[in-house]
Amino acid sequence: MSAHIIDGKAVAARLRARIATQVTDFVTAAGRAPGLAVVLVGEDPASAVYVRSKGKATREAGMESIEHRLAADIGQAELLALIDTLNADPAVDGILVQLPLPEGIDEQAVITRIDPDKDVDGFHPVNVGRLATGLDGFVPCTPAGCVMLLKETIGDLTGLDAVVIGRSNIVGKPMAALLIAESCTVTVAHSRTRDLAGVVARADIVVAAVGRPEMVRGEWIKPGATVIDVGINRTEAGLVGDVDFAGAMSVAAAVTPVPGGVGPMTIACLLRNTLISAHRRAGIAFDERAA
């Protein structure tokens, strides 16, 4: 038996094509394109790559890409002032501050300064609360993409046992909330969970987001499970996920590869959140089923 490889690139490409179509309709209705502002502080190489990728994808979708590249030694007050300016700018529908920020800048203070209705990353405490209580808000892009991949692969998730390995605010916690909303039975595990192998072995769905190379072994996985690997770890052998891919392929029903699985979905969902924000701010109905 060899698992189905979940092609995140293909799913993301289809989503981005649907978004581009809706952007065209929005421009006709609103007389302007949706605008995404991305703020990069410093010269972190990985962050610079992400920002370039996001800018390219934004422009390809027909949206306005507004980039602010700031020196690493910028003061926190100056950064917060820029966010205030973007909050007030009617051409900006989404604001994303690329993390991590340099030492000396309080990340939570920066995230909290962003208008929750322009927080297309879904990190503001208001949006976290909206997700936890089942209200409409912006959902963090990586967990949103994971759910899309699961539904594309499995269909209805109702009643399935899901294990989320990792408890970060960016992936683990919102992932658990989204799976609960899909009527899964959810366990949140982490690197300090007792008998992690036993916990994973019960799961129909495994979402690994713990940040440790190939920590989740193939022999832990329940035969026929679906495995979503969020991890991206640089090793001497190249990029690997949090899951032993070869081992998982021999027992699971479906597995995301690293790279080419979750990553493309993250950017596609960022564009989707920006499009949703633009519709809300313009008072134009957004067709959830179309994107």
For 8-24, what is the mean pLDDT? 97
Query: Mind listing the pLDDT tens digit for each residue in 74-83?
Result: 999 999 999 9
Sole residue written with tokens 């926190």? 76
- Is the separation of the CB atoms in 70 and 79 below 8 Å? yes
Q: Which of 183, 240, 249, 178 is nearest to 210 (CA)?
A: 240
Is 121 an annotated catalytic residue?
Answer: yes
Query: Mind listing the pLDDT tens digit for each residue in 103-147?
Result: 999 999 999 999 999 999 999 999 999 999 999 999 999 999 999
Residue 290: is its pLDDT beyond 80? no
For 263-273, what is the mean pLDDT? 97
Query: Mind listing the pLDDT tens digit for each residue in 53-64?
Result: 999 999 999 999
For 176-196, what is the mean pLDDT? 96
**Average model confidence (pLDDT) for the chain?**
96
CA distances from 54 to 40, 46, 161, 190 (A): 12, 12, 34, 30
- Is the separation of the CB atoms in 53 and 264 below 8 Å? no
pLDDT of res. 289: 78
Give residue 174's identity as a one-letter amino acid code.
P
pLDDT of res. 191: 87
Is 54 an annotated catalytic residue?
Answer: yes
Sole residue written with tokens 């820029």? 82
Residue 70 phi, psi (nearest 5): -115, 150
Sign of CA dihedral 263, 118, 16, 162: positive
pLDDT of res. 237: 82
For 19-25, what is the mean pLDDT? 97
Which residues touch 25 (CB under 8 Å, ≥6 apart)? none
Which residues touch 111 (CB under 8 Å, ≥6 apart)? 97, 119, 121, 123, 124
Pick the catalytic residue: 22, 54, 229, 244? 54
Which residues touch 124 (CB under 8 Å, ≥6 apart)? 111, 112, 114, 116, 138
- Is the separation of the CB atoms in 26 and 35 below 8 Å? no
Residue 102 is given by DSSP the state P
Domains and CATH numbers, the chain: 30-115 (3.40.50.10860), 141-263 (3.40.50.720)
Q: How confident is the model at residue 1 (pLDDT cuts 50, 70, 90)?
A: low
Q: How confident is the model at residue 260 (pLDDT cuts 50, 70, 90)?
A: very high
Query: Mind listing the pLDDT tens digit for each residue in 134-180?
Result: 999 999 999 999 999 999 999 999 999 999 999 999 999 999 999 99
Q: Which of 212, 140, 127, 132 is nearest to 170 (CA)?
A: 140
Pick the catalytic residue: 22, 93, 98, 204? 98
Pick the catalytic residue: 121, 204, 229, 242? 121
Is 93 an annotated catalytic residue?
Answer: no
pTM of the model: 0.95
For 222-246, what is the mean pLDDT? 94
pLDDT of res. 129: 97
Dihedral over alpha carbons 83, 88, 93, 98 (to 10 degrees): 0
pLDDT of res. 283: 96
For 70-93, what is the mean pLDDT? 97
* Long-range own/partner contacts, residues 279-287 (CB < 8 A, 24 or more apart): 279/26, 280/117, 281/93, 281/117, 282/26, 282/29, 282/30, 284/26, 284/29, 284/30, 286/22, 287/22
pLDDT of res. 236: 86
